[in-house]
Each structure stands twice: as C-alpha cells, then as structure tokens.
Structure 1
Amino acid sequence: MQNNPRLLAVKTLSKISNGAYSNLQLNQVINNSNMSNLDIRLMTNIVYGVVQHRLTLEFYLDAFVSNQNKLDAWVRELLYSAIYQMEYLDKIPNRAILNESINIAKQLGHAGIRKMVTGVLHAVINKGLPSFDKIKDNVKKLSIKYSVAEWIINELTQQLGLDKTISILESINSPSKQSVRFNSTLTDKNTIKNELESEGYEVEDSIVSNNGLLVSKKSAAKSELFKNGKITIQDESAMLPVDSMQFKPSDCVLDACSAPGGKTIQIAEQLDNKLGGKIYAFDLHEKRLVKVKENAKRMHVDAVVQTKALDARKIDKEFDDEYFDKILIDAPCSGIGLIRRKPEIRYEKQLSDVKHLASIQLDILNAVACKLKHKGVLIYSTCTILNQENVDVVNAFLEKHPEFELLQTDKHLIINNKNQEKWLRVFPDDFNSDGFFVCKLRKI
C-alpha cells in the first residue's frame, strides 16, 4: 500500500495536524512516491479537502464519536478523510470509500481500531450526517458550515456585509486555479499558449492580468517552459501590483519585502542593466533570498536583481534619501486573501496577529517613504482582504505624509468594471483568484 493515495493522504494529514505545512508535506510525499497523476490528484484533493473543511468534519464526527481527542491522530484523520470523500466527492461510491478506509485501519492499527472505524463509517452511511440547522448561533453556524474561524466571519461581515461575506465563504473552498505568467522578454502570449498546448496542457487567458494564463491537466512546474524560464507560477491577483506600475528600462527599483521573488522577477523583466536598470530585493532572512536568486536566474533576469538581507524598517542606514524611482511594498500580512490556496491560515491566524501586522506595515511605509524620488511611485499591496491591513494602513500613512498623494490604481481587463475606488480590492469570490489589495501613491 506504499503508493495508495488514501493511505498517504492519511499519513500526510497526521503530520499536518501536528504542525507540518500542507504544501511542503504534500510535495514531499508526492516526490517520494510512484503514484500515477490520477492518484496524485486524488491524494491532493483529499489532503486539501480535509484541511479546508476541518471544522465541518469535526462537527460531523462529533455525532458519532463521543470524544475525538482520545483518538490517535491518524485514526481521526482517516475518519475525516472518509467522511470528506462521502460528502464532497460524488464520483466515488460509499462502498469503495468504506473498503479502502477499513483496509487502511487494518494496515496502520490493530483489530480494535479496525472494528471502531468500520462501525463509525457504517453509522455515517446509515444515519446520515447531522444538519447545521441544530446550531442556533448564526456566526457559529457559518463558521462550522464553511470551516472558517468565527473572528474572520465577524470582521468580514462588519466590513463587507453578510451577503458579500457568504459569497467569499462559498468561494474559498472551491479548488484553486493554476495560473502562470509568461516571461515577456522571451516570448509572447500566443506563442506560449501554443507551446503549452503542445505539451498537453489546457490553456485559457486570465481575465485578471494581461500576462496571466490558466493551465490545467498537469503541474505547470513539470513543463519545459517553466524550467527554461519562459513561464513562472504566479496567482493572477499576485500579478496586479506590478501590473499597476509603469517602468523605464533604466529605473532603480526597490522591492522591500521580496521573497520568494515572484513580483521581483516580474519587475526585473522590464528593466535593462545596460541602461542602469536595477531592482534591490530585500527580505529579513538570507535563506529566503536564495529562492529569489534561483527564480531570477531561471527567468534570465539575474543581471538586474540585487538581493539584500535587510529589514525594510532599517533602510535608512543603507540608502540615501530619494534613491529609488519606484518602490513596491508587498507587505507581510495575515494572508487572509490566500485562504483557498493556504487553508491552514483560517485556523492559525488571530485578530491580534492582524493588529500586530498592521503596525509593522505602517512602520515599513514610514521608513521607505523618504527613499523615493520626487514624483516617484510607491505601490503598497497585501494578500489580505481586511481593512486593518489595507485601507486603514494607507490612510494612517497619508495622514502622516502630506508629501504623498493617492492615485487611481491602474486596473485591467474585467476589473475595470468591478471597482470604482482609487485603490484596487480583489476578493476571493470576484474571479476565484487570491484576495489582494493594491494601492498607488505618488510623492509630490
């Protein structure tokens, strides 16, 4: 059973429940197995599905197990994965899920555990799962139904209203799309679409970013085009901060919070080192900058990328005032906009984290402001959808810095019709992409 996708899913989920990161653990298991593409997709679906729906699955299992905490981690994850398949994967018959689950219990445990798993799953099939209607508190009901922490629901409802909140909650448990950005210095959209299709991918244009494409059928990381730097994997929304900037090939640019380097590379593609173009990529830790360097080399733009391990709040010691033509601050944030892609965020983050991060974001803005040249443009962006880290931070910055003005953030394609605010807010339900905030400021 060493290549059994359900068994490997249970083992992976057990490690995730003990603190491992889902994406890293999943990739490790896949790389060490000999599973077919079909089995890899099933395993990935089960792992992310169980993590996404954990609060819901806990609620379901409570109806059949008196104390889940007494179960071994792998037994609990086995039951969650079985219930997840029964409830959410309609193409797999219950008898197949039951048989596979019993075999895994037999493989990993003793006869008593096998009997218990058999009994619980038979009860689930015979009695059906409990209704959410028994939950009287509306916020708690939404939390259990969509498997999102109550504080997130409270904040979203207060800021966006109940209807928009429910729309976001319904969208974040749908599968993530696989999007890539093509390297405009090496190729063009039509050429890259044809090359991807010749490799067996299904390809469609992004409606969010001009340089984005949606690909399916297999992992984009396995494409020769990825290996030779013609494409890179990047969410559509994550392309928008750089899309909203206009560069001269000779610009000196700062990416104040760069790792893993997706936006750094996107900027670097528009610079020319022969004309003096350069981008300084900061990050707190040197080891995180290794990925930036690797990506820059793969995408053939390393000549204009200069990395530096530096806290952007301490930039005053390193650079003169009015040094940069353009600055990007893709600030460290709670990542609430990434919940679909990184489901653990919905359980790990607290409101106190949001308030702490907002303070750091404002400190970074305040620190780098004097390093921007007269009439230079600064883009502030985050991958969260909460006002505390977005609108509130920008307003606090502008109040302290009258030498900056708020510009209309450039918007692209269908987004032109979605938002009339000067800043750009993309929510997870707008285009089934990551949630993002982009704001454009100019020094006057």
Structure 2
Amino acid sequence: MAWGKSLKWVIILETKQLARSGALAVLAEIFDKGAYSNIALNHYLTKHRLSQQDKALLTELVYGTLTRKITLEWYLAHYIEDREKIDTWIYYLLMLSLYQILYLDKIPEHAIVNDAVTIAKKRHRGADKLVNAVLRQFLRQEKPDITAIKRKNKRYSVAYSLPVWLVKKMIDEFGEDRAIAMFKSLLVRSKASIRAVNPAELETVKQLTGADKSLLSPVGLVKASGNFTGSDLFKEGKITIQDESSQLVAPTLSIQENDCVLDACSAPGGKAVHMASYLKSGQLIALDLYDHKLKLIRDNAERLKLADKIQTQKLDARKVHEHFAPDTFDKILVDAPCSGIGLIRRKPDIKYNKENKDFVSLQKIQLEILDSVCQTIKKGGIITYSTCTIFKEENQIVLKQFLDNHPNFEQVKLYHEKKDIVVDGCLVITPEQYLTDGFFISQVKRIS
C-alpha cells in the first residue's frame, strides 16, 4: 500500500476510534447517571469538535446500543460469568462492540475489535486482554440462538430488546400479531420530521429540503435522516422540528384568531407555537413547572416570530383552577405527563426506565390536571387531551373516567382521512402504522 493511502487509512481508523470512545462516554452518562439519551448525546457533540462523519457514527453507536441493550446483554451473558466482577465501562465497551459486529455491516470486524482493545488499553492496562478475549471468542464460536429460548415473552424480550413486562403488556392490549409488528417497528430508526410553519410554503420547503410529504399531517414533511436544525429554513423560522403525530394536535382545537388558549403542560413548546400560529388578537398561556423548560418555549416562540402571542407562566397544571377564574379560556390543551412509551423509537432509554406500576400514578396526575383545567373553560369551550403513549390506562380510560366524573362535558369525536388511526372518536396512532411516535388525541366539550 502506498504511504499516502496508508496514512489516510490510519486517520480513518483514528477518527472512528474517537467516535467509539465518545459513544462509550455518552453511554456511561446514560447508564450510570440516568442522563436522558438525547440530552447526553447533544451535550457531548456540542462540547467536542468532531467531523460530520464521526458525529453520525457516534450517534448511530449510542442509539443503536441503547435500542438493542437487552439483546446485547443476553449475548454477553454467554461469555461473562459475572458482570458485577468487571468494571461497568468495560461492559459498556463490550456491548458497544457487539452492536457493531452484529448490526453494522460496513465496519470490518477486525477494526471493531482492534479499536475496542486500544480504547480499553488506554483506560486501564490489562482490561484490553479481557475485551480482546471476549470479542474474539464471540467471533470464533457459533452465536447463541435466540429462537431457542423456550418462554415466549422472554424470547420476544431478547429478540426485540424490550423488558418482559412491556412485551406482556403490549400483547395483552393489542394481541400477539399486532404487538410483534410494533416490536419490529421500534427497531427501525426514526425519520426526521418537520412542520412547515406556513402551510402555503409547504411545496417550496419540500423542494428545498428534498423531503417527502407526511402521510398523516397536511403540513408535515419527512426524510429518512437529516439534521434540519442547522439549516437556514430552521434559523429563519420557516420550519420547526415536530413529529407527524404531534402535528395533528393543534388543528383539533379549531382555534379562532381571538381565542384565549391554555397550554397546560407546554414544554418544549412545539404544540404551543403551532396553536399560536392561528392567533391574531388572541393569546396563548403556556405553563410548565421548570424555568429552563419555560425558556425553551420562549426560545421556540421567538424563532418562529410568535413571542407576542405566547405568555409563559411557571405553574403546576393541577393548580390551574386556583390561579385562573372560571370561564377564562376558549380552548385548552392538556398534553399530559405520561409514560412516553410512544417515544421509544426516538428515546430508547425510556423502555428501561419505566415499570408497570408507573401507569397507575400517572393516571392519577392526568385526571387531576383535567379536573383542574376544566374548571376554567368557557361553556362551549373544548379541551384536547393528548399523550405520547399507547396504553388505555393513560388514554381511553382517563377520558372515560373524566367524562363519568364531569357530566357537564361530552366527548367530541375526532376524524382523520386515515381511518386506521380513528378509534371510538379518538386518534390512536401506534408506532408500526406510519413509523411515527405512538400518540393519542381525544377531545371533550363543556355543555353546561
């Protein structure tokens, strides 16, 4: 090999090693300190100067390893007798390496092993021998067979990297065939999804971005991948980042230009700015519990030139009735705190941080918020209740309980041209249908 080509190959290997060591650092933040995957990753990418290629690889490694965590742990259990006896960072490095060997076809196996060994050697002398031994043993031997796992729920758990309780819950609620379709869909990488702020400019934005029109949202565009936040369109406030399913919320409220609107659980403000775009003389009040989240709403509003339409306020949504008079609002959105199960594709760490018992406590909060805000809606006013989860405890059951306890409200049935997402007058979107976030949207109206 010529010297020039040899040097180029060495540089490529070193940059890939930077991405792998970076991914290891981000995974440690997530696993050891409970950091949110998107925040930990963004923080690392902002702090370190990496090429676009390295950023892409680092992102792939972090999200890929997180997405396949249970599967990777099952494989490693065949080669490591007691994971408690090795340093956690070594275990994460092995998971990271196994992910590349199993799922990234374009990276040579010897390069993956060599980089892992080099990273281990730099961190702690002697660790490289263990890493080398485990990875080479995995490559030499016949791989353990997941299909041989006898217990069905355990087999699905390992195959699709979902906790057993979640596998069971999804099968119980949706049936085995549909649940498996969901399991498979959650392993598909999220699309990049944007909303054209001015619907009249949708076609222009489509041409400029090379994106495709959303199948669900009339103002949505999607691409298989892409970083829109760095584009001029984003900086100029012509587009905003918002999942297709989330884009369906604001239109359900039929906001008039002079309405007084409450966004009870607003941050980061994607739905707030969408709702505010319908206003002229009207006003939207956006609530959240935390100052830094309120700042996100204001930043969003300023970028989209809607700051004059949105007023932020630090307030627990369960106390809305204590701070606002009866008959204050024409429209209210309760995009409620929820388990976030519908976001697993984009935020895979969610599935490892939830438990079955969480649903009961969340349902209590959701009902408390609805009970509070409903005391401030005008007669004839409507409340949209939405979540980014797929289970009835947080969705249809919450709606039914609210209506049972508030006879002065009735359900408003919602419609959509895609009939498969309309269930009993609600919009119920599961992740396998259109490869979007899982989402639930319902609506009630005060009648007396």
Report how far residue 16 of structure 1 moved: 1.5
Report how far residue 397 of structure 1 moved: 0.5
Amino acid at match of 1:280: I
1:375-429 CA-partner distances (Å, limit 9, x unpaired): 11110000010110001100000111112111221325xx234434311100011
Q: Which residue of structure 2 lines up, in the alignment, with residue 225 of structure 1?
A: 233
Q: Which residue of structure 2 lines up, in the alignment, with residue 188 of structure 1?
A: 201
> Under a length normalisation based on structure 1, what TM-score does the superposition of the two structures give?
0.94
Which of 53, 69, 74 is 1:59 aligned to? 74
- Asked if the contact 1:17/1:73 (under 8 Å) is kept, the reply is no
Which of 203, 211, 214 is 2:211 aligned to? 203
Report how far residue 329 of structure 1 moved: 0.4
Taking the TM superposition and a 5 Å limit, the aligned residue runs for 1:29-428 are 29-110=44-125, 112-184=126-198, 188-196=201-209, 202-215=210-223, 218-272=226-280, 275=281, 277-412=282-417, 415-428=418-431
The number of residues matched between the two structures is: 432
Task: Answer yes or no: is 1:441 the counterpart of 2:444.
Answer: yes
Report how far residue 243 of structure 1 moved: 2.7
Cα distance in structure 1, aligned partners of 2:82 and 2:183: 28
Cα distance in structure 2, aligned partners of 1:133 and 1:215: 34
Cα distance in structure 1, aligned partners of 2:277 and 2:142: 55
Report how far residue 115 of structure 1 moved: 1.4
The 1:418–1:352 alpha-carbon spacing in structure 2 relative to 1, beyond 3 Å, is closer
1:40-67 CA-partner distances (Å, limit 9, x unpaired): 1111111111111111111000111111
- Asked if the contact 1:244/1:411 (under 8 Å) is kept, the reply is no
Cα distance in structure 1, aligned partners of 2:162 and 2:249: 27
Report how far residue 119 of structure 1 moved: 1.1
- Asked if the contact 2:192/2:226 (under 8 Å) is kept, the reply is no
Moved over 6 A (4+): none
Q: Which residue of structure 1 lines up, in the alignment, with residue 8 of structure 2?
A: none
The 1:354–1:420 alpha-carbon spacing in structure 2 relative to 1, beyond 3 Å, is closer
Amino acid at match of 2:444: L
Q: The residue matched to 2:319 in structure 1 has which SS?
A: helix
Cα distance in structure 2, aligned partners of 1:62 and 1:281: 48
- Asked if the contact 1:209/1:243 (under 8 Å) is kept, the reply is no
> Under a length normalisation based on structure 2, what TM-score does the superposition of the two structures give?
0.93
Cα distance in structure 2, aligned partners of 1:285 and 1:410: 34
Q: Which residue of structure 2 lines up, in the alignment, with residue 199 of structure 1?
A: none
Cα distance in structure 2, aligned partners of 1:311 and 1:225: 34
Task: Answer yes or no: is 1:16 the counterpart of 2:30.
Answer: yes
Kindly, what percent of the aligned residue pairs are identical? Answer: 39
Amino acid at match of 1:115: K
Report how far residue 95 of structure 1 moved: 1.8
Report how far residue 216 of structure 1 moved: 5.2
Unaligned regions of 5+ residues in structure 1, if any?
197-201
Q: The residue matched to 1:244 in structure 2 has which SS?
A: helix
Amino acid at match of 1:93: P
